[in-house]
Amino acid sequence: MKILVVGSGGREHAIIKKISESPRVKEIYAAPGNGGIADIATLVDIKADEIEKLACFVYERGIDLTIVGPEAPLAEGITEAFEERHLRIFGPSKEASRLEASKIFTKEICKKYNIPTAGFEVFDEPQKAMDYIERAEKPQVVKADGLAGGKGVVVAGDKVEAKEAVRAMMIEKQFGDAGLKVMIEERLYGEEASILVLSDGENIYPLASSQDHKQIYDEDRGPNTGGMGAYSPAPIITDTMYQRIIAEIITPTVFAMKEEGCPYKGVLYAGVMITEEGPMLLEYNVRFGDPETQAVLPRMKSDLIEAIEAVIDGRLNELKVEWDERSCVCVVLASGGYPAGYEKGKTISGLDKVKKLKDIAVYHAGTKKEDGKVYTSGGRVLGVTALDKDITGAIDKVYKAIKLISFDKMYYRTDIGQKAVKRVKS
Cβ at position 179, least distance to ligand GLY in Å: 18
Q: Which is nearer to ligand AMP, 141 or 254 (CB)?
A: 141
Q: Which is nearer to ligand AMP, 77 or 149 (CB)?
A: 149
Q: Which residues bind ligand GLY (CB under 6 A)?
A: 150, 212, 227, 285, 289-290, 292
Out of ligand GLY, ligand AMP, none, what residue 187 binds, judged by CB under 5 to 8 A for its kind, is ligand AMP
Cβ at position 126, least distance to ligand GLY in Å: 26
CA distances from 395 to 162, 221, 299 (A): 36, 20, 15
Cα dihedral 20, 270, 6, 375 in deg (nearest 10)? -80
Out of ligand GLY, ligand AMP, none, what residue 65 binds, judged by CB under 5 to 8 A for its kind, is none
Q: Which is nearer to ligand GLY, 13 or 163 (CB)?
A: 13
Out of ligand AMP, ligand GLY, none, what residue 99 binds, judged by CB under 5 to 8 A for its kind, is none
Cβ at position 292, least distance to ligand GLY in Å: 6
Q: Which residues bind ligand AMP (CB under 6 A)?
A: 118, 141, 143, 153, 155, 185, 187-188, 192, 214, 224, 271, 282-283
Residue nearest to ligand AMP (CB): 283
Q: Which is nearer to ligand GLY, 163 or 380 (CB)?
A: 380
Task: With beta carbons less than 8 A apart as the criterion, state whether 348 and 374 touch.
Answer: yes
Cβ at position 317, least distance to ligand GLY in Å: 27
Cβ at position 312, least distance to ligand AMP in Å: 27
Out of ligand AMP, ligand GLY, none, what residue 185 binds, judged by CB under 5 to 8 A for its kind, is ligand AMP
Q: Which is nearer to ligand AMP, 32 or 150 (CB)?
A: 150
Out of ligand AMP, ligand GLY, none, what residue 192 binds, judged by CB under 5 to 8 A for its kind, is ligand AMP
Cβ at position 81, least distance to ligand AMP in Å: 26
Out of ligand GLY, ligand AMP, none, what residue 174 binds, judged by CB under 5 to 8 A for its kind, is none
Q: Which is nearer to ligand AMP, 89 or 142 (CB)?
A: 142
Q: Which is nearer to ligand GLY, 200 or 290 (CB)?
A: 290
Cβ at position 187, least distance to ligand GLY in Å: 19
Out of ligand AMP, ligand GLY, none, what residue 71 binds, judged by CB under 5 to 8 A for its kind, is none
